[in-house]
Amino acid sequence: MDLEVRWHHVSHYSRKHLMVSRNLGSVGYDSNEKTFDKILVANRGEIACRVIKTCKKMGIKTVAIHSDVDASSVHVKMADEAVCVGPAPTTKSYLNMDAIMEAIKKTRAQAVHPGYGFLSENKEFARCLAAEGVIFIGPDTHAIQAMGDKIESKLLAKKAKVNTIPGFDGVVKDAEEAVRIAREIGYPVMIKASAGGGGKGMRIAWDDEETRDGFRLSSQEAASSFGDDRLLIEKFIDNPRHIEIQVLGDKHGNALWLNERECSIQRRNQKVVEEAPSIFLDAETRRAMGEQAVALAKAVKYSSAGTIEFLVDSKKNFYFLEMNTRLQVEHPVTECITGLDLVQEMIRVAKGYPLRHKQADIPINGWAVECRVYAEDPYKSFGLPSIGRLSQYQEPLHLPGVRIDSGIQPGSDISIYYDPMISKLITYGSDRTEALKRMEDALDNYVIRGVTHNIALLREVIINSRFVKGDISTKFLSDVYPDGFKGHMLTKSEKNQLLAIASSLFVAFQLRAQHFQDHSRVPVIKPDIANWELSIKLHDKVHTVVASNSGSTFSVEVDGSKLNVTSTWNLASPLLSVSVDGTQRTVQCLSREAGGSMNIQFLGTVYKMHILTKLAAELNKFMLEKVAEDTSSVLHSPMPGVVVAVSVKPGDMVTEGQEMCVIEAMKMQNSMTAGRAGAVKSVHCRAGDTVGEGDLLVELE
């Protein structure tokens, strides 16, 4: 079966599976190759669903673990059995080794797949499993320990003749030692958790003050996320690309590199967009990186799927960053271009089977792009967490070349307790251009209601001219959006298209309102109006629009331009496919109010408009405008989270930019600072408090 057919087949197949995604390729599952009867998946969300799906295909029974708030989650419904391991906080549930070990004994699971995060790189957990005769589906404990510790892994990489970044090979004791080391290495430096991963516990420092702050915040994040607050410091390579090599090893001394993934689009050191292969690498550099990655894997007798991360400069010099001894979040793009199911390979290796492939067998077939869809507000620091309930949720699996890994469904809650990822949206094409076009279409057709999400940012990234050319680095977002993300900037043509679509929708809703079960109502506006004169406010500018309709086509005059808008006008559908003078657009009407407000998602960005008839617009001029609140003297929480520390008290004098409190949201520490200088009037939070978005934290006089 070729790749194109395979994708189409899986899209059809996936609709039977509780809206979990979903596509793994036409990988061979040998029913005669016995592995395990039952596997416990020590994780939650999309990665738990992902592992369970492969287990089902291999004929393996699965056990899900869950916290009490996750009792109705998709991964729980997918598994054959489920065990509650504690309350919502991760330390009391998904990181609770005693409860998980008890669940293993209770269900008699023979093996455990840890997914990523949580206990996936915890050597103590692997040792506990080994002591009970339970197989850990991952590398041996010595490899987890060696590669999970950034200090030891760097020394081993040097010994294996892998290129490494200049830095301090030891644990930094305190903030002042951090400053001394940073000065010796030379600014800028990267402060990072020794046991870390996933961008947590990492800070870039450009001077002594940032080093002291970075040491404090990174150590707190590291302790919260990994239970280990040790830090190290190394030279920060400015404008690098983040390119990683997927490796796969077995217990017989065999190891392969499965090509690379480009993961340079990041915010706060966390990846947002990934792709395979990298547009930057040539065959020679790819082979050199792959061979060094395999050399390191063999040096630690690595047996499972793992990833060697590199920083690559503009001259294609590459430096070892770290090794993740687990399945990566972005592993689907590698599966797309190689045809391998990495979870299946991990299970086979854990059972003791040798690898089925040779290095020469590993292809680069086509191109794959992954966007991490988060419940985040991209207009705040490129993505501060959002919480809420998914009131409507519809994945774009009807499109060709689309795979979605998710663990949610309509009605699912995105809470403060866990990572705010909604899903991983992956598109595959014969080349990069096709994969990106499919991603653009998939983002337009993705329906997510009830939480704020980052689709606007994702779509802008993949259509950005620099990204399309491959001119990217880990500073891409801050370089392209130095003043923060503002959404899609409409061209004149796109603005006219949006106004024409909005006015057509307005008239379509008015016409529908005049009819009820095939009987005309007493119309508010006469139904025989030939031309609708409308006033549309967009971005504080008022546009006069004239619309008329003939069947399913609206003729709209916008600022002197005439456009024809055609659609089926199924106003009950969350998605509306519209043709504007032959240009096809998929839009979403998110809300519409009687007072004229209408929110439309167009080209990924939500545009707030106010649409009134000419008469209503004339009368609206007599309405008083609401005066905007002065927020310079108050500090509101920009996101839901937990207050970790409060640095001020009533009567204290603060300067602009001074830290007043620290909020932890989804395991990231965020310093909240004063917007202006002044005296503290009152403090409305204490360490340990749970706060919501918009909650008042501190008032200044």
The pTM (predicted TM-score) of the whole model is 0.83
The whole-chain average pLDDT of the chain stands at 90
Tokens representing 176 are 């002042």
CA separation, residue 446 to residues 290, 402, 407, 455, 570 (Å) = 36, 11, 15, 9, 17
Cα dist. 575→18, 58, 519, 589 in Å? 21, 36, 27, 8
Q: Considering the chain, what percentage of its residues have pLDDT values greater than 90? A: 71
Residue with the larger pLDDT of the pair 124 and 513? 124
Name the token pair of 479.
């370089």
Count the Cβ atoms, other than its own, within 10 Å of residue 323: 32
Question: Which pLDDT band holds residue 86 (cuts at 50, 70, 90)?
Answer: very high
* Residue among 340, 260, 339, 254 at smallest CA distance from 304: 254
For 464-554, where are the alpha helices, taking DSSP H only?
465-469, 476-480, 492-513
Which pLDDT does position 343 carry in this prediction? 98
Note the pLDDT of residue 516.
60
Is pLDDT above 90 for 338?
yes
15 pLDDT more than 50: no
Arithmetic mean of pLDDT, 511-524: 63
pLDDT value for 697: 96
Phi, psi of 301 (to 5 degrees): 50, 50
Handedness of CA 405, 411, 414, 417 (dihedral sign): negative
Q: Is 50 exceeded by the pLDDT of residue 185? A: yes
Mean pLDDT of 122-135: 96
Instruction: Say if residue 358's pLDDT is above 80.
Output: yes
Supply φ then ψ for residue 440, to 5 degrees.
-55, -50
Q: pLDDT digit string (tens) for 57-69?
A: 999 999 999 999 9
Task: Report the half-sphere exposure of 90 (CA within 13 A, side-chain side).
Answer: 18
Across 518-596, the runs of DSSP E, i.e. the strands, are 519-520, 532-538, 541-550, 553-558, 561-566, 576-580, 583-592
Per-residue pLDDT for 288 more than 50?
Answer: yes
**Are the CB atoms for 267 and 458 separated by under 8 Å?**
no
The kind and range of the H/E element at 45 are: helix 45-57
The pLDDT assigned to 212 comes to: 93
- How many helices and strands in the chain, by DSSP H and E? 18, 40
Give the tens place of pLDDT for each residue, 129-153.
999 999 999 999 999 988 877 778 8
pLDDT tens for residues 577-600? 999 999 999 999 999 998 899 999
The closest of 58, 422, 107 to 42, measured between CA atoms, is 107
Q: Which of the pair, 670 or 303, is modelled with greater confidence?
A: 303
521 pLDDT higher than 60: no
Among 678, 274, 293, 287, which Cα is nearest to 476's?
A: 274
pLDDT of residue 600: 98
Does position 460 have pLDDT exceeding 60, yes or no?
yes
- Residues 562-572 have pLDDT tens digits of 999 999 999 99
For 478-506, what is the mean pLDDT? Answer: 96
Q: Tell me the two tokens of residue 69.
A: 């708030």
255-267 and 270-276: which strand pairing? Answer: antiparallel
Q: What is the set of active-site residues?
A: 322
Res. 10: pLDDT tops 80: no
The per-residue pLDDT for range 312-328, each reduced to its tens digit, is 988 898 999 999 999 99
Look up residue 603 and give its amino acid: L
Name the nearest CA neighbour of 669 among 173, 214, 87, 204.
Answer: 214
Tokens of 563: 């456009």
Burial zone of 385 (CB within 10 Å; 0-12 exposed, 13-18 middle, 19+ buried): buried
Amino acid at 211: T
Average pLDDT, integer, range 602-615:
94
Question: What are 369-378's pLDDT values in tens digits?
Answer: 999 999 999 9
Residue (of 539, 559, 578, 548) closest to 496 by Cα position: 559
Residue 461 in this model has a pLDDT that exceeds 90: yes
CA distance 201 to 206: 17
What is the reported pLDDT for 221? 80
For residue 187, which of 171, 164, 203 has the smallest C-alpha distance?
Answer: 203
Residue 336 in tokens: 């797309």
Instruction: Give the burial class of 12: count Cβ atoms within 10 A of its Cβ; 0-12 exposed, 13-18 middle, 19 or more buried.
Output: exposed
Q: Give tens-digit pLDDT for 640-696.
A: 888 999 999 999 999 988 999 999 876 678 889 998 899 999 999 999 999 988 899
**pLDDT grade, residue 525 (50/70/90)?**
low
How far apart (Å, rounded) are the C-alpha atoms in residues 489 and 459? 12
Over its C-alpha atoms, the chain yields an Rg (Å, rounded) of 27
* Predicted pLDDT of residue 16: 31
How far apart (Å, rounded) are the C-alpha atoms in residues 417 and 667? 8
In this predicted structure, what is the pLDDT of residue 367? 98
Average confidence (pLDDT) over 60-87: 97
466 pLDDT exceeds 50?
Answer: yes
At residue 14, the pLDDT reads 34
Per-residue model confidence (pLDDT) at position 201: 75
Residue 541 confidence class, pLDDT cut points 50, 70, 90:
very high
**Furthest-apart CA atoms within the chain: distance in Å:** 84
Give the whole-angstrom CA distance, residue 699 versus residue 445: 43
**Could you give the CA distance from residue 200 to residue 268 in angstroms, rounded to a whole number?**
9
* pLDDT tens readout for residues 16-62: 333 333 343 445 677 778 999 999 999 999 999 999 999 999 999 99
Top mean-pLDDT range of 77-81, 409-413, 614-618? 77-81
The Cα–Cα gap between 557 and 500 comes to 8
